[in-house]
């Protein structure tokens, strides 16, 4: 199950990417994004990535809570991360084909566990190009390039951001330490041998607060370390 390495990494990114609250300009709402394009020069990686195409991520948020919900591989893998502003609590619900795990922690612990990844993301530099424009769902967007400092290798990203959408861009995985003047309605992540593009397919300022009521029935509660060990047992995390 080699594809679990990719799926588990995405899940961990989700955990680290959610630990902030939405901007006050948009106090509540819902944004839906979908993986619309994947590519790799490696045939085996390309085959695994193709399984991710069509996967969706939903962001629900208000002043008190944020919920990021991700569905992958046709719903076989589901990840929900609930962030409660008061106490900076983080609950991760991970369901991989019926294997359910629940990690309950807080922002400080998760950031400490991020380690070198957090430091790398903090070094990312942003270049804005307002002449490179695109319209997405009626919103005017322009290009932002996020990359490591010149001479350093690592992940890079290209985003089309809208200043009219006032949700906090740090809700998105990999952008938690990046300052952007708008919310990315399209984001392409380049991780060496692979690229993945996520596009916003739905935006609403409506919010049903009941979405934050998540049942823990059937989930095995564990520490973050236990979760990482379990992921390794599913196919070799490599962390």
Query: Residue 206 maps to which CATH number?
Result: 2.50.20.10
Does a structural domain hold residue 238? no
90 occurs within a structural domain: yes
Asked if the model's pLDDT at residue 182 lies above 70, the reply is yes
pLDDT of residue 238: 28
Q: Would you say residue 239 lies in a domain?
A: no
Dist CA 239 CA 236 (whole Å): 8
Please give the distance of CA 230 from its chain centroid, rounded to a whole number: 21
Beta bridge partners of 92: 81, 103
pLDDT at residue number 22: 36
Q: Percent of the chain having pLDDT more than 70?
A: 80
Higher pLDDT, 4 or 122: 122
CA-nearest of 47, 52, 99 to 73 is 52
**More reliable by pLDDT, 186 or 111:** 186
Per-residue model confidence (pLDDT) at position 115: 63
Please report how many Cα atoms fall inside a 13 Å half-sphere around the Cα of residue 45, on the Cβ side. Answer: 12
Residue 69 lies in a domain: yes
Higher pLDDT, 35 or 224: 35
Answer whether residue 21 is part of any domain.
yes
Percentage, residues of the chain above pLDDT 90:
33
Single pTM value for the model: 0.74
Q: Is the pLDDT of residue 15 over 60?
A: no
Domain range enclosing 75: 3-233
With H, G, I as helix, E, B as strand and everything else as coil, classify residue 45: helix
Number of domains in the chain: 1
Q: Which of 135, 131, 154, 151 is nearest to 143 (CA)?
A: 131
């Amino acid at each position: 199950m080699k594809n679990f390495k990719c799926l588990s990494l995405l899940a961990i990114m989700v955990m680290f990417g959610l630990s902030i609250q939405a901007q006050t300009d948009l106090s509540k709402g819902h944004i839906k994004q979908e993986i619309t394009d994947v590519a790799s020069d490696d045939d085996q990686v390309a085959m695994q990535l193709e399984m991710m195409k069509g996967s969706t991520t939903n962001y629900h948020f208000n002043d008190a809570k944020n919920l990021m919900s991700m569905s992958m591989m046709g719903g076989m893998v589901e990840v929900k991360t609930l962030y409660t502003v008061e106490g900076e609590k983080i609950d991760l619900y991970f369901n991989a084909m019926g294997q359910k795990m629940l990690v309950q922690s807080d922002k400080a612990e998760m950031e400490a566990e991020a380690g070198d990844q957090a430091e790398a993301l903090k070094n990312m530099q942003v270049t804005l190009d307002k002449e490179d424009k695109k319209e997405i769902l009626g919103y005017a967007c322009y290009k932002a390039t996020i990359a490591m400092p010149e001479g350093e290798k690592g992940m890079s990203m290209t985003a089309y951001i809208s200043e009219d959408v006032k949700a906090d861009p740090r809700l998105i995985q990999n952008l938690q330490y990046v300052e952007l003047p708008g919310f990315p309605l399209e984001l392409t992540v380049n991780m060496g041998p692979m690229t993945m593009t996520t596009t916003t397919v739905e935006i609403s300022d409506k919010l049903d607060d009941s979405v934050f009521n998540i049942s823990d029935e059937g989930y095995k509660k564990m520490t973050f370390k236990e979760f990482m060990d379990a992921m390794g047992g599913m196919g070799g995390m490599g962390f």
